[in-house]
């Protein structure tokens, strides 16, 4: 800032240097804040994972080496949580992408009442996850839920289903609620990509006699692939760390517990900070690995191309 | 081909399309509609699957506010989400200027670091954050939540504002530099007024992010007076675990969701631009 009023001696060089200093000056508050609320807590969590710390007194701990990780590797409940998380992530993201694409294509078609439909699609997105989980828990209630009432009324089932009690059904229910909540996000990203597609391409394809299905697979899909990929990356990483929807719908039940639910139960309910931190650290490295893979494969642009110098 | 299609086929296609639209509408809207209907029923009507609440009553809404500090809870959520958003916007505007308008070594690394923080699983910082919050004497306080929410709102606001700021024309800045304007003046005098709509969209999305947060709020607060909305709704309980007062749960859900839905519908264009600015252009 002090240099701002001084006449520039060598305009090109000193201006660039000043701007570099300005950049770091403007970044400093953010970087300090991120170091305090993200970097430091992460390092502390990793450090805790090598100790036997308890929540009641975090200062009293002993170094236990890799013991927590060894116990973790032997806990069938942990592996169940890993399996649940993988199933949840793969199934829910696939369904969200598919459904999101269908909704986006529908919204992109020029039909009357498009604004109304787009507004309706935004509703699940606007509802807090905890609230949507409660709404669905009520609809899926085994005794008084509307889902069972409708299925019984149509004669599709003979007796009420325990949607949130049965091990297989409850994982499916958790996935269904997540799909309902998150599909709009995918749909909106896909729609934004659809709306900037060049129309000439479609006209020439139609002149060449290509049918709608051919057009979709050889023009539309390749062109919106980058946007879909971004949506899949965001959704996939969200799904790997899922907590809210599962905790509210089925609590800590082993049939649905994700890695986050498992780690929090150890950390907070059993007060076992060392062991819980080991589970949390494992999840962190899984997410980090997947992020690195996806960023490399998806070649996410970090803005190198289009900034003013 | 398509020009010579049979009229019957075309009608069938149109019918199929209308059915698809109806199905999407039903799928997205019905769960919320059912929550509204259920919140207006009381007594045994709640346990009947009637699509219309024939004897609509606001009894559940009265109970929610009477049985627990729900008004206080809403104020808590408003305060925490507003403070976390305001702080984040302030830091993000400065950082976004540097990241979008200045070329310097290490910029890609900083962007990557910010993106990675937004990918952090919350659980991975939970024990470290718990220690930090307790160490600062902020356990069971709203300030502790504001502090911990920065890990969600800071990367998000910075990322989206960087994308928005990158769109501003270079000429604007060059002219100002020739006039001898400092970066500070360029940012606050020229850019920010132009970015007002983008700031509103980013701020709203960040507010929603903080308003919806559950894990930190569940872990770092203890007393009902310090709870935020998601925690309060998740922890509404009845006389026993098997007698959850569903009418009240739905009333609370509708109370906190309706303003959000109205806001989102009013600002839908801006929200979509904010969401896509972060993802597509990023």
Nearest to B234 by CA among B260, B212, B206: B212
If pLDDT is split at 50, 70 and 90, which confidence band does A309 have? very low
Indicate the helix (H) or strand (E) that contains A289: helix A273-298
Any residues with CB less than 8 A from the CB of A44 and at least 6 apart, and which?
A: B127, B128, B131, B132
CA distance B221 to B227: 6
Q: Give per-residue pLDDT as tens, A234-291.
A: 899 999 999 999 999 999 999 999 999 999 999 999 999 999 999 999 999 999 998 8
CA distance A99 to B102: 40
Which band of pLDDT confidence, cut at 50, 70 and 90, is reported for residue A307? very low
Strand partners, A63: A51
Q: Is A159 an interface residue toward B (CB < 8 Å)?
A: no
Chain B CA closest to residue A267: B127
Give CA–CA dist B94/A27, Å, rounded. Answer: 7
**Backbone torsion region of residue A65, taken as left when φ is above 0, otherwise alpha when ψ lies between -120 and 50, otherwise beta:** left
What value does the mean pLDDT take over residues B198-218? 92
SS3 state of residue A58? coil
Which chain B residues are within 8 Å of A124, Cβ to Cβ? 28, 31-32
Residue pLDDT, tens place only, B242-271? 678 899 999 999 999 888 888 888 887 777
Are A49 and A281 within 8 A, CB to CB?
Answer: yes
Cα–Cα dist A173/B146, whole Å: 33
In the block, which residue shows the tokens 């828990």? A137
Give dist(CA B90, CA B98) in Å, integer.
13
Interface of B with A in 63-82 (CB under 8 A): none
Yes or no, beta carbons of A130 and B261 under 8 Å apart = no
Strand partners, A57: A54
3-state class (DSSP) for residue A65:
coil
Please tell me the distance from the alpha carbon of residue A34 to that of residue B111, in angstroms, as a whole number.
12
Q: Cβ separation of A123 and B184 shorter than 8 Å?
A: no
Tell me, letter by letter, the H, E, C secondary structure of chain B.
CHHHCCHHHHHHHHHHHHHHHHHHHHHHHHHHHHHHHHHCCCHHHHHCCCCCCCCCCCHHHHHHHHHCCHHHHHHHHHHHHHHHHHHHHHHHHHHHHHHHHCCCCCHHHHHHHHHHHHHCCHHHHHHHHHHHHHHCCCCCCHHHHHHHHHHHHHHHHHHHHHHHHHCCCHHHHHHHHHCCCCHHHHHHHHHHHHHHHHHHHHHHHHHHHHHHCCHHHHHHCCCHHHCCHHHHHHCCCCCCCCCCCHHHHHHHHHHHHHHHHHHHHHCHHHHHHHHHHHHHHC
A195, A108 contact by CB (below 8 A): yes
- Minimum distance, in Å, between the CA of residue A204 and any CA atom of chain B: 14
Residue B8 pLDDT more than 60?
Answer: yes
Angle at B22 between CA B16 and CA A211, to 5 degrees: 35
Give the C-alpha separation, B109 to A206, whole Å: 45
Structure token digits, residue A198: 């060049």
Q: Which of B113, B106, B159 is nearest to A288 (CA)?
A: B113
CA distance linking residue A161 with residue A140, whole number of Å: 9
Q: Mean of the pLDDT values across residues B163-177?
A: 86
Looking at the partner chain, which of A103, A109, A126 has a beta carbon nearest the beta carbon of B260? A126
Q: What angle do CA A65, A69, A74 make, to 5 degrees?
A: 135
Nearest to A135 among B31, B130, B134 (CB): B31
Give the confidence band of B67 by pLDDT, cuts at 50, 70, 90.
confident
Closest CA to B107 of A295, A291, A309: A309
Instruction: Report how far residue A174's alpha carbon sits from residue A136's, in angstroms, rounded to the nearest whole number.
Output: 9
- Give residue B281's pLDDT: 42
Residue B133 has pLDDT above 50, yes or no: yes
Q: For A264, name the nearest residue in chain B, comparing CA atoms only.
A: B123
pLDDT bracket for residue B127 (50, 70, 90): very high
- The better pLDDT of the pair A158, B88 is held by B88
Cα-Cα end-to-end distance for chain A: 19
To the nearest whole Å, the CA of A260 is away from the closest chain B CA by: 6
Q: What pTM was computed for the model?
A: 0.89
Nearest CA in chain A to B32: A135
Rg (CA), chain B: 24
Q: Which of B49, B104, B115 sits opposite A146 (nearest CB)?
A: B49
Contact assignment for B212 to A287 by CB distance below 8 Å: no
Angle between helix A76-108 and A114-126 (nearest 10): 160
Give backbone dihedrals phi and psi of B51, rounded to 5 degrees, phi first.
Answer: -75, -20
Q: What does the pLDDT average to over A157-174?
A: 91
Rounded distance between C-alpha atoms, residue A54 and residue B184, angstroms: 48
Please write the tens of the pLDDT for every residue from A93-147: 999 999 999 999 988 887 777 778 888 888 898 899 999 999 999 999 988 899 9
Q: Do B35 and A209 touch (CB under 8 A)?
A: no
Minimal C-alpha gap between B164 and chain A (Å):
11
């Amino acid at each position: 800032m002090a240099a701002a009023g001084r006449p520039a001696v060598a305009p090109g060089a000193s201006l660039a240097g000043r701007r570099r200093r300005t950049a770091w000056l403007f970044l400093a508050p953010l970087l300090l804040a991120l170091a305090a609320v993200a970097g430091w807590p992460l390092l502390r969590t990793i450090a805790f994972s090598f100790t036997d710390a308890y929540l009641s007194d975090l200062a009293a701990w002993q170094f236990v080496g890799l013991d927590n990780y060894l116990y973790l590797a032997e806990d069938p409940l942990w592996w169940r949580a890993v399996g649940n998380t993988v199933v949840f992530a793969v199934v829910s993201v696939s369904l969200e992408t598919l459904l999101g694409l269908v909704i986006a294509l529908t919204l992109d078609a020029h039909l009357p009442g498009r604004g109304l439909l787009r507004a309706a699609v935004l509703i699940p997105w606007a509802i807090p996850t905890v609230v949507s989980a409660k709404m669905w828990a009520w609809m899926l209630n085994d005794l008084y839920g509307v889902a069972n009432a409708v299925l019984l009324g149509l004669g599709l089932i003979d007796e009420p289903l325990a949607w949130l009690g049965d091990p297989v059904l409850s994982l499916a229910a958790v996935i269904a609620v997540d799909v309902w909540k998150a599909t709009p996000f995918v749909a909106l990203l896909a729609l934004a990509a659809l709306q900037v597609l060049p129309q000439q391409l479609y006209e020439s394809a139609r002149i060449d006699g290509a049918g709608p299905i051919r057009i979709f697979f050889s023009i539309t899909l390749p062109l919106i692939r980058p946007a879909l990929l971004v949506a899949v990356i965001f959704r996939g990483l969200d799904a790997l760390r899922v907590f809210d929807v599962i905790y509210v719908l089925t609590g800590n039940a082993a049939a649905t517990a994700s890695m986050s639910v498992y780690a929090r139960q150890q950390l907070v309910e059993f007060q076992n900070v060392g062991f819980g931190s080991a589970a949390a650290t494992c999840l962190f490295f899984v997410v980090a690995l997947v992020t690195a893979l996806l960023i490399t494969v998806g070649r996410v642009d970090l803005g190198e191309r289009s900034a003013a110098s | 081909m398509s020009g010579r299609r049979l009229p019957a086929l075309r009608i069938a296609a149109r019918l199929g399309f209308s059915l698809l639209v109806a199905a999407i509408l039903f799928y997205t809207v019905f769960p919320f509609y059912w929550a509204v209907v259920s919140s207006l029923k009381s007594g045994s009507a709640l346990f009947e699957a009637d699509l219309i609440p024939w004897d609509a009553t606001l009894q559940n809404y009265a109970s929610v506010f009477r049985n627990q500090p729900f008004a206080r809870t809403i104020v808590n959520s408003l305060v925490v989400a507003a403070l976390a958003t305001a702080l984040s916007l302030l830091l993000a505007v400065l950082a976004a200027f540097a990241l979008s308008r200045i070329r310097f070594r290490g910029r890609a690394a900083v962007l990557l670091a910010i993106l990675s923080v937004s990918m952090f699983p919350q659980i991975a910082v939970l024990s470290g954050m718990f220690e930090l919050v307790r160490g600062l004497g902020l356990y069971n306080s709203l300030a502790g939540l504001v502090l911990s929410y920065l890990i969600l709102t800071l990367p998000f606001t910075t990322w989206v504002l960087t994308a928005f700021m990158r769109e501003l024309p270079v000429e604007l800045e060059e002219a100002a530099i020739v006039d001898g304007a400092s970066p500070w003046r360029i940012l606050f005098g020229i850019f920010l007024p132009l970015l007002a709509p983008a700031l509103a969209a980013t701020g709203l999305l960040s507010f929603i992010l903080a308003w919806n947060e559950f894990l930190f709020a569940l872990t770092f607060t203890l007393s009902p007076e310090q709870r935020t909305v998601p925690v309060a709704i998740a922890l509404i309980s009845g006389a026993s675990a098997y007698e959850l007062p569903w009418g009240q749960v739905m009333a609370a859900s509708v109370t906190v969701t309706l303003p959000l839905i109205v806001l989102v519908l009013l600002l839908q264009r801006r929200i979509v631009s904010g969401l896509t600015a972060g993802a597509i252009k990023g």
